[in-house]
Structure 1
Amino acid sequence: MSAPAAAAPVLAPLRFGPLTIDSPVVLAPMAGITNRAFRRLCREYGSAGGTGANALYVSEMITSRALVERNELTMKLIEHDPGESPRSTQLYSVDPVTTAAAVRLLVTEDRADHIDLNFGCPVPKVTRRGGGGALPWKKELFRSIVAAAVREAEPYDVPVTVKMRMGIDVDHVTYLDAGRLAEAAGAAAVALHARYVDQAYSGVADWSAIARLKETVRSIPVLGNGDIWSAEDALRLVAESGCDGVVVGRGCLGRPWLFADLANGFAGSPERVTPTLGEVGATLRRHAAYLCDFYEDEAKGCRDIRKHIAWYLKGFPAGSQIRHQLALVNTLADLDALIADLDASAPWPGAPAEGQRGRAGNPRRVALPDGWLDSQELTAEQAALVAEAEDSVSGG
């Protein structure tokens, strides 16, 4: 009897310039999360998920000015593992000149194979000065930043993509204009987090907006982001919106094996990873070791792993005392002792471990520069304020 035919892939590979991403999945940049250690863990699961398909794993967001000034932390954040490919870096910028200088550094020093531009950050200290999700409202400033990045990256065959939100709020929608402008400026793809800035991460992502963007932007891939907690969510988003791939953020917190599920799902396979508590503990331990290697400091690595504990243990029968102790670990030996006390045979809990992860926050009034919404043109006073915006963004 002949072997059953392999399932047909749900989507074609993503193509950004010279890059081919077999599994149409992108890890969303998350501050303090998507460092080299976490990306390594996600890559290991994604490539071992039964398909061998690669995805795109993007660095934490870094500011263009800090990169140009070669800030020590920033230079560490753009490091990639020797075998990490493609090497993907996300830039936050508010000024075309600084953007161009930052991209020039990345491409001429061969530090990136892909550059993503952040126009979706909802953090008040960013939007208050016109950056992040507030910036696409000023259409010419947005266009000029994208064009500057593309101009510097294009001779080196490094694709530039754009990640954005739907707009500042329901009365100030920007994503369709921004999608058209990015496409015309030479962006290799656009990704939409289907929420407004004033929502932060609250409420429900409006996937119909991703469908509208797909209808508007026709010559480059459109990626969908928002409320992807499982491979089934990703497949449903693609079916509903017609998008070319997905961007996954909070859904992989404490669950790096989601990239194996996604690779299998997009390959047409029903296979999913359902680890026991013992297997989750082993992943947690490996993550901690990678963090210690990243920081070159065991104490720092163990402090960093603490914030991941609740995400890894979500839904599992681990008592409050051991959870509390795990959230205070200072050494790998401490971590080993506590993991040994977990019930390694406890099976994957199913629904209790699924669903939303990370803080959703609450809707809020967006902090903006004075008069920002009066016009989509940038005034001289606003230009001066925006020029200072990167100074307010710390941590790279």
Structure 2
Amino acid sequence: MRIGSLTLASPVVLAPMAGVTNVAFRTLCRELERSQVGTVSGLYVCEMVTARALVERHPVTMHMTTFAPDESPRSLQLYTVDPATTYTAAKMIADEDLADHIDMNFGCPVPKVTRHGGGAALPFKRRLFGQIVAAAVRATESAGIPVTVKFRIGIDDDHHTHLDAGRIAESEGAAAVALHARTAAQRYSGSADWEQIARLKEHVKTIPVLGNGDIFDASDALTMMATTGCDGVVIGRGCLGRPWLFAELSAAFTGRPAPTPPTLGEVADIIRRHAKLLTAHFGEDKGMRDLRKHIAWYLHGFPAGSELRRALALVTTLDDLDILLGRLDPDVPFPPAATGPRGRQGSPSRVVLPDGWLSDRDDCTVPTKADMMHSGG
């Protein structure tokens, strides 16, 4: 799959997820893909950073843009609401060689973002949306850095925006678009509407269309591409606690034999490696605190016992982690209960928007306060 100047051996993209897709997790996914299928073939996107915070060189944001020495291509996702700030941030990325690819986030459904007109609310303002995409493309064009755009079906069932967003992104020079096939009102609940990916693919003719939503194993990815005609897949919650999923996807798309799912002992080794990578990135204290949520995902479906799970949920050092993981039965095979949906789901809810947001789709006034939070917020 080609995305602008980038050529990917398999059409698989790791979705940026706040607090998850840092350099440690991306390195782990890439290591497992390389060890199991002999190559790194997809695109691994870092967690979202805020354009304003990047321009202001917020220390947390700058740390979030860390890439591994051998990581290529380096992919960075921007959250932004302002064409001027977008241009400055994208130009900074190009001038300082901070990344090889920029993805733009217009899919975040959380109230603290949408209530100010950001995330999944913004594509409703189609002129402003187009100005933002155009600013990023203009800032990076001479450097050959492709800009892609990710969005949802729309705000809710009465306010779909994805077809307009795809058309506008394409016309403003985006190298690809990705659709999370849910509305903002759905959050992560219910089922993704893959038919809307097919509609977007019919609507966008000259650049790749990627599908996102409810891909939890390789067969899901193959089915999505076969039924929608999309050019690639974006993997989010499906890889939580399963960083080896990218090896399985790579094998499926390149015709290699599927890797054998890990035993509990092999999962324990992966957790240890993840812990060391997080410690290298954050230091042991923060790294171990960050690992705790991953442990629950790693052990999903495995027999581990409530007492051991509680202890692992409070682990503070690498040494303690090693001792606790040693209590797991290493010979337990990967269980059927460990497959399928995982991560947050919740329930649908009304999307919180600024007053009067839905009154004029062509209003290009920049929302106020929408980019005040620092990255990862």
- Under a length normalisation based on structure 2, what TM-score does the superposition of the two structures give? 0.98
1:204-215 matched pairs, under 5 angstroms: 204-215=191-202
> 1:320 is matched with which residue?
306
Q: Aligned-pair distance for 1:269?
A: 3.4
Q: Aligned-pair distance for 1:331?
A: 0.2
> 1:230 is matched with which residue?
217
Q: Aligned-pair distance for 1:90?
A: 0.1
Secondary structure class of the residue paired with 1:387 = coil
8 Å Cα contact 1:257-1:273 kept in structure 2: no
8 Å Cα contact 1:95-1:145 kept in structure 2: yes
1:360-375 matched pairs, under 5 angstroms: 360-375=345-360
CA-based RMSD: 1.1
Mapped to 1, the partners of 2:36 and 2:223 lie a distance apart of 20
Q: Aligned-pair distance for 1:287?
A: 0.3
CA distances 1:293-337 after superposition (whole Å, capped 9, x unpaired): 011x11111111001111101111111110110010000000000
CA distances 1:157-179 after superposition (whole Å, capped 9, x unpaired): 00000000000011100000000
> 2:44 is matched with which residue?
57
1:238-257 matched pairs, under 5 angstroms: 238-257=225-244
> 2:29 is matched with which residue?
42
Report the CA distance shift for 1:392/1:71 in structure 2 as closer, same or farther (over 3 A): closer
Secondary structure class of the residue paired with 1:390 = coil
Secondary structure class of the residue paired with 2:372 = helix
The runs of at least 4 consecutive aligned structure 1 residues that moved more than 3 Å come to 392-396
Mapped to 2, the partners of 1:292 and 1:224 lie a distance apart of 33
8 Å Cα contact 2:182-2:193 kept in structure 1: yes
The one-letter amino acid paired with 1:248 is I
Between 47-56 and 89-98, report the one with greater CA deviation.
Answer: 47-56
Secondary structure class of the residue paired with 2:2 = strand
1:268-283 matched pairs, under 5 angstroms: 268-283=255-270
Between 188-197 and 315-324, report the one with greater CA deviation.
Answer: 315-324
Secondary structure class of the residue paired with 1:246 = strand
Mapped to 2, the partners of 1:326 and 1:53 lie a distance apart of 31
Secondary structure class of the residue paired with 1:129 = coil
8 Å Cα contact 1:126-1:392 kept in structure 2: no
The yes-or-no answer on 1:344 pairing with 2:330 is yes
8 Å Cα contact 1:51-1:263 kept in structure 2: no
8 Å Cα contact 1:27-1:247 kept in structure 2: yes
The yes-or-no answer on 1:78 pairing with 2:70 is no
> 2:82 is matched with which residue?
95
> 1:395 is matched with which residue?
376
CA distances 1:231-276 after superposition (whole Å, capped 9, x unpaired): 0100000010010000000000010000000000111234133101
8 Å Cα contact 1:125-1:392 kept in structure 2: no
> 1:151 is matched with which residue?
138
| Number of residues of Structure 1 aligned to a counterpart in Structure 2 | 377
The one-letter amino acid paired with 2:343 is G
Please point out which of 110, 116, 119 is paired with 1:132. 119
The yes-or-no answer on 1:199 pairing with 2:186 is yes
CA distances 1:156-203 after superposition (whole Å, capped 9, x unpaired): 000000000000011100000000000000000000000000000000
The one-letter amino acid paired with 1:101 is T
Q: Aligned-pair distance for 1:394?
A: 4.9
> 2:103 is matched with which residue?
116
CA distances 1:199-230 after superposition (whole Å, capped 9, x unpaired): 00000000010011101101000000000000
CA distances 1:339-368 after superposition (whole Å, capped 9, x unpaired): 11100111111x200011111011000000
Q: Which runs of 5+ in 1 are unaligned?
A: 1-13
> 1:33 is matched with which residue?
20
Mapped to 1, the partners of 2:83 and 2:222 lie a distance apart of 37
Mapped to 1, the partners of 2:231 and 2:375 lie a distance apart of 33
Mapped to 2, the partners of 1:47 and 1:128 lie a distance apart of 42
Mapped to 1, the partners of 2:179 and 2:43 lie a distance apart of 16
Mapped to 1, the partners of 2:280 and 2:31 lie a distance apart of 16
Secondary structure class of the residue paired with 1:89 = strand
Mapped to 1, the partners of 2:256 and 2:157 lie a distance apart of 38
Mapped to 2, the partners of 1:153 and 1:341 lie a distance apart of 51
Q: Aligned-pair distance for 1:47?
A: 2.4
Secondary structure class of the residue paired with 1:162 = strand
The yes-or-no answer on 1:354 pairing with 2:339 is yes
- Under a length normalisation based on structure 1, what TM-score does the superposition of the two structures give? 0.93
